[in-house]
Amino acid sequence: MAKKTVRDIDLRNKRVLCRVDFNVPLKDGKITDDTRIRAALPTIEYIMEQQGSSLILMSHLGRPKGKVNPDLSLKPVAVRLTELLGREVKIAPDCIGEKAESMAAELSGAGGVLLLENLRFHKAETDNDSEFARNLASLGDVYVNDAFGTAHRAHASTEGVAHHLPGVAGFLMEKEIRFIGGLLEHPEKPFVAIIGGAKVSTKIAVLESLLSRATELLIAGGMAYTFLKVRGTRIGNSLVEEDFLTTAGSLLEKAESMGVNVLLPVDHLVGSSFAENIEARAVDDVNIPDDSIGMDIGPRTIDLFKSAISKARNLIWNGPMGVFEFSAFDRGTLEIARSVAECQGITVVGGGDSVAAVNKFNLAAKIDHVSTGGGASLEFLEGKELPGIAALS
């Protein structure tokens, strides 16, 4: 899965067309979290350091659905990037057309940085229209993709452009491929996979992919109750996907036949209803009372999971242990996050909620790799070939 990176191509005196993920949260026209912008800085700064090179950045923001929406303009991003780089970042009024072409041409040899306006103001972007991709490609001499978060989409800027320009990975993309791809291709054992989240239906492909690689699967979150019900456990009013009971049962059988140890919750924190202000009650048993909803793993489950985590040489975590958004039910996710941070093996956290959890608890710096892609990291773990990666040299 090794891909060429910006280190492997001569960028001197080139106009570099770089796909980044600047899909940042905005409130009243202001950026509320610039993490994604900062994550792209190593690649941006490396390109700018190359003699005579100039940089054209392209990204989407939100879901304008092919129509111009001033509220989703990348202008605030250009302002923030100017502050972070200490040099002006100009923004083109569109991502294609005469003005974008002339502004890109003016950069040549000047070491300038240009940000194209929101790609998704054009439906042709998500349609991966070949003419639109060709127009984007005409702005640069080489193509760099550093937007792992969109690598699972075959869009014009993530896949189509690579048919017209030599394409390589940026440093962020390289890191994602190295860590997540490395876990899938040659994991060191014991390899522990912690999979949480609400539904089996969204994670079953990941679980099946990991069966042939992991030594232990730790399953929690709302999805665990479907597996517990299959085992004959009483789950009260907890979330269950009746349509996936057979699938869950088959996975447990397959895991046993392959020698993969599956750990499920053995105790719980429950509530009387799914609400933030309800009282958390401990259930020191695998069975949940009929009038209760499982909301988090209990202390014995935490200890069970932490014991497995402490022995891991490789570890992947995707999905919270419970309803960690509610403070009364965040302990399970917090304790597992701390345990992952303390693990001496290689640790990778992927998926939006898991990333949100390690950020909430200020533990991201202690994780070897925190993935920048939600859906992309999920599909990568499923073993799928991501179009944005496949298109690179």
Please tell me the predicted confidence (pLDDT) of residue 1: 64
Enter the pTM of the model: 0.87
Going by C-alpha positions, the residue among 81, 66, 69, 72 that lies closest to residue 27 is 72
pLDDT in tens, the chain (393 residues): 688 999 999 999 999 999 999 999 898 989 988 888 999 999 999 999 999 899 999 999 999 999 999 999 999 999 999 999 999 999 999 999 999 999 999 986 677 899 999 999 999 999 999 999 999 999 999 999 999 989 999 999 999 999 999 999 999 999 988 888 888 888 899 999 999 999 999 899 999 999 999 999 999 999 999 999 999 999 999 999 999 999 999 999 999 999 999 999 999 999 999 999 999 999 999 999 999 999 999 999 999 999 999 999 999 999 999 999 999 999 999 999 999 999 999 999 987 688 888 888 899 899 999 887 777 888 888 888 888 999 998
Catalytic residue among 62, 111, 352, 383: 352
Question: What are the φ/ψ torsions at residue 194 (nearest 5 degrees)?
Answer: -105, 115
d(CA 133, CA 148): 18
Q: Find the angle CA(338)-CA(342)-CA(345) to the nearest 5 degrees.
A: 130
Strands 26-27, 30-31: parallel, antiparallel or unpaired by DSSP? Answer: antiparallel
Domains annotated on the chain, with CATH: 6-173 (3.40.50.1260), 187-381 (3.40.50.1260)
Q: Catalytic: 36?
A: yes
Strands (E) in the chain, as ranges, are 15-19, 26-27, 30-31, 54-58, 89-91, 113-115, 142-145, 167-169, 191-195, 216-219, 261-263, 268-271, 281-283, 293-297, 314-318, 346-349, 369-370
Residues 250, 252, 254, 257, CA torsion sign: negative
153 contact partners, CB below 8 Å, separation of at least 6: 126, 159, 387, 388
With contact defined as beta carbons under 8 Å apart, do 104 and 94 qualify? no
Q: Catalytic: 199?
A: yes
* H helix count then E strand count, the chain: 15, 17
How many C-alpha atoms does 352 have within 13 Å on its Cβ side?
6
Catalytic residue among 14, 19, 36, 203: 36
Catalytic residue among 4, 178, 199, 384: 199
Catalytic residue among 62, 66, 181, 375: 375
Tell me the two tokens of residue 272: 């009387």
